[in-house]
A = this chain, B = another copy of it.
Amino acid sequence: MIIIIQCKDQIGLVADISQILSEAKLNIVSMREHVDKAESMFFMRLDVDGYSDEGVLTESMRRILPEGALIHVNPVSEKRIVVLVTKEYHCLADILVRNNFGTLGATVVGVIGNHDILQKICDRFDIPFSLISYTDVSGDPEQEMIDKINSYSPDYVILAKFMRILSPRFVASFADRIINIHHSFLPAFAGANPYRQAFERGVKLIGATAHFVTNDLDEGPIIAQQIIPVNHSFTAADMVKSGKEIETAVLAKAMRLVLSDRVFVYKNKTVVFDN
């Protein structure tokens, strides 16, 4: 069983929590704990051996935890995700492959694109693809997209190189459940054309950042980041090409972490309990 706890810190929390587990004959395989002293917040992820009724366990926990505590006992293990794309295939294909072989830690229930270029790769994997174009200005494509996503009841919405800015209405519809991959090591080069910006600045490394989406563009809580070295011989196009490799890797890592309930969000930051 996996148990997730996030609450105000107080003395004796670990003792009280582990007492409950001990009484329930649950053996702790792995306990990850973090206290943010400045914010006086407590974060814990438990991996325990044995079985106990989830409702009873949650209730026991609630009795000893401070008011307002978040407790999840055995969060949904097989999440549902919807993937939003534009034209670039690399992140989507990586997700479809992992989904196909059962190693994604989630099920891709649908893909939505604002272009039809990636329809075909979805077909190859028997995943439904919906085209919602933004070129017809008479309609409300974003609302259409919100409705379509809602029809899938997903746990998370993955922006796999979806190249449009989302409105507050969209973000609010899936608060804390939208993950984006941005092609720079944020906060450097937020916004459009980060590789062009990186090329112009003459940096010696380029990066990618996976983060939760908020209403502040590219300002949401960071989940994972990675960089690769570049040099003067890289054109902006070379950076785009090399960058795709880490975009794919970083988004895959962020999804692995979020989908295995290893990421806590608090005050625009994340606590990540990786290996």
Contact flags A225-236 to B (C-beta < 8 A → 1, else 0): 111001111100
**Are B238 and A249 closer than 8 Å at their CB atoms?**
no
Identify the interface centre among A37, A90, A125, A187: most chain B CB within 10 Å of its CB: A187
Q: Which of B14, B25, B185, B245 contacts A205 (CB 8 A)?
A: B185
Min CB distance A160 to B, Å, is 13
**Are A18 and B25 closer than 8 Å at their CB atoms?**
no
**Chain A residues in contact with chain B, CB under 8 A?**
11-16, 18-19, 21-22, 25, 27-31, 33-37, 89-90, 93-94, 97, 100-101, 121, 124-125, 185-189, 201-205, 207, 221-227, 230-234, 238, 242, 245, 249, 252, 268-272, 274-275
**Are B35 and A29 closer than 8 Å at their CB atoms?**
yes
**Are B30 and A21 closer than 8 Å at their CB atoms?**
no
Q: Which chain B residue has the least Cβ–Cβ distance from A224?
A: B204
Min CB distance A18 to B, Å, is 4
**Are B268 and A202 closer than 8 Å at their CB atoms?**
yes
Q: Which chain B residue has the least Cβ–Cβ distance from A124?
A: B124
